[in-house]
């Protein structure tokens, strides 16, 4: 990457020349296999090169990072090894079913939490006070702002992407997820994502309006799917699983955890989370007890259809209660309990949201994940 950035700096000085009839239509591929620092121009990686993420890689405003099908990036261990797309930057991870993009740990014996993960900051709406354009800063990088008033914001494309062994942390309150979406707009396209063996959450939405289709999360240390700060998109066809032998370092790992506002600290916010989950399967093949299969709290409004919860044990199956505010009473959830042992209460629904069982539910279409090689 250092050589690439030097090349791009030298171009205006005329130190590289071409014939007038040269067809310069493609960005010059990156030629340094070590990735870190800022991307401020249009940079394309070379799928023939195995890259090493040696530090924080930031796609700055106006920058574009293009990762072609089949590209592999291996991260050194550490909290500062992550990719951050800032507001106004874009990432295009364009894998295919037979040649996915893989970003993984470079350790000889990889483990959850080896490196940070992928963070995208957009300019879409967050929950906040009436009449205020609300912004915030990324948990893992307080210099990186997200949020705004552009729900159509476009941060690029992620397709056929594997993010594994993510979730490095600097403290219990500052930690990465596999994929963190901060105020990301609906102009961003995210489809066919596999996030195995990560610490903290598989994916977390901090506000915004982006949607995801076809998401597989395996052995997340905390929640499989996490929502907060006013997310209003759709998660369609998602499968979360804890495999046999799984255990967690967290006190309350869940299948779905959803807050209307950030940490429940501003219950009077407008634009609180109002989202759709459809065609969802949550599976516990381990002996570890899930806190809740689905938690909707702190003003969040959830519309969840064709949900299947399968196997293992859970304290509560569907829980709309919380000390900082219950889930929105207008939530609509239909679910099928396929063999889950409930040690607490099946449904906690104090404000009479529309929650009902439906034994005809089939959950996620697992054929969409055949490209991952995961054995269902």
Give residue limits of the domains in the chain: 36-372
Which of 232, 268, 257 has the alpha carbon at shortest distance from 126?
A: 232
Which of 218, 178, 229 has the alpha carbon at shortest distance from 201?
A: 178
CA dist 309 → 66, 105, 240, 355, 363 (Å): 37, 31, 10, 14, 8
Q: Residue 6 belongs to what H/E stretch?
A: helix 2-10
Answer for the pair 24, 51: CB distance below 8 angstroms, yes or no: no
Burial of 65 (0-12, 13-18, 19+ CB in 10 A): buried
Answer for the pair 235, 211: CB distance below 8 angstroms, yes or no: yes
Structure tokens at 203: 């994916």
pLDDT at 12: 37
Structure tokens at 276: 């759709």
Distance CA 284, CA 293 (A): 9
pLDDT at 31: 53
Give the chain's end-to-end CA distance (angstroms, integer).
39
Answer for the pair 366, 215: CB distance below 8 angstroms, yes or no: no
CA dist 8 → 74, 81, 86, 309 (Å): 24, 24, 20, 51
pLDDT at 329: 98
Distance CA 330, CA 220 (A): 29
Q: Look-up: residue for tokens 């610490």?
A: 199
Structure tokens at 105: 């740990």
pLDDT at 16: 32
Phi-psi region of 237 (alpha: psi -120 to 50; beta: other; left: phi over 0): left
Answer for the pair 53, 35: CB distance below 8 angstroms, yes or no: yes
pLDDT at 161: 99
Which of 210, 237, 222 has the alpha carbon at shortest distance from 307?
A: 237
Given a cut of 70, the residues of the chain with pLDDT beneath it are 1-31
Distance CA 254, CA 176 (A): 17
Query: How do beta strands 135-138 and 141-147 pair?
Result: antiparallel
Answer for the pair 208, 124: CB distance below 8 angstroms, yes or no: yes
Distance CA 226, CA 71 (A): 28
Q: Residue 195 belongs to what H/E stretch?
A: strand 189-196
pLDDT at 171: 82
Which of 93, 36, 97 has the alpha carbon at shortest distance from 68?
A: 93
Structure tokens at 41: 């121009």
Q: How many CB atoms lie within 10 A of CB 143?
A: 9
pLDDT at 196: 98
Q: Residue 340 belongs to what H/E stretch?
A: none
Distance CA 232, CA 313 (A): 30
């Amino acid at each position: 990457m250092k050589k690439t950035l030097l090349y791009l700096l030298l171009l205006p000085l005329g130190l590289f020349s071409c014939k007038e009839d040269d067809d310069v239509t493609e960005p010059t591929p990156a030629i340094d296999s070590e990735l870190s620092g800022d991307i401020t121009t249009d940079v394309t990686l070379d799928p023939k090169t195995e890259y090493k993420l040696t530090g924080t890689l930031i796609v700055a405003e106006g920058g574009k990072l293009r990762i072609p099908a089949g590209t592999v990036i291996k991260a050194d261990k550490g909290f500062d090894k992550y990719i951050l797309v800032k507001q106004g930057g874009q990432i295009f991870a364009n894998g295919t079913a037979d040649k996915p993009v893989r970003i993984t740990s470079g350790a000889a014996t990889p483990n959850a939490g080896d490196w940070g993960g992928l963070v995208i900051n957009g300019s879409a709406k967050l929950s906040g006070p009436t009449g205020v354009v609300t912004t915030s800063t990324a948990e893992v990088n307080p210099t990186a702002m997200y949020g705004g008033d552009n729900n159509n914001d476009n941060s690029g494309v992620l397709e056929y992407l594997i993010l594994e062994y993510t979730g490095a942390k600097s403290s219990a309150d500052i930690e990465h997820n596999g994929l963190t979406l901060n105020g990301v707009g609906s102009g961003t396209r995210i489809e066919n994502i596999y996030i195995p063996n990560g610490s903290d959450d598989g994916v977390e939405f901090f506000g915004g309006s982006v949607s995801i289709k076809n998401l597989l999360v395996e052995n997340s240390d905390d929640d499989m799917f996490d929502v907060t700060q006013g997310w209003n998109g759709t998660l369609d066809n998602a499968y979360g699983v804890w495999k046999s032998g799984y255990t967690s370092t967290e006190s309350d790992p869940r299948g779905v955890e959803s807050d209307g506002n950030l940490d429940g600290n501003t219950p009077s916010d407008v634009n609180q989370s109002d989202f759709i989950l459809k065609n969802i399967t949550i599976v516990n093949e381990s002996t570890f007890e899930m806190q809740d299969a689905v938690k909707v709290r702190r003003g969040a409004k959830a519309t969840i259809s064709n949900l299947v919860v399968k196997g293992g044990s859970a304290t509560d199956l569907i829980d709309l209660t919380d000390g900082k505010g219950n889930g929105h009473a207008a939530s609509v959830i239909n679910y099928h309990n396929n063999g889950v042992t409930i040690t607490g209460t099946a449904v906690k629904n104090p404000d009479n949201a529309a929650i009902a069982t439906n034994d005809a539910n089939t959950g996620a279409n697992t054929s969409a994940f055949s490209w991952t090689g995961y054995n269902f």
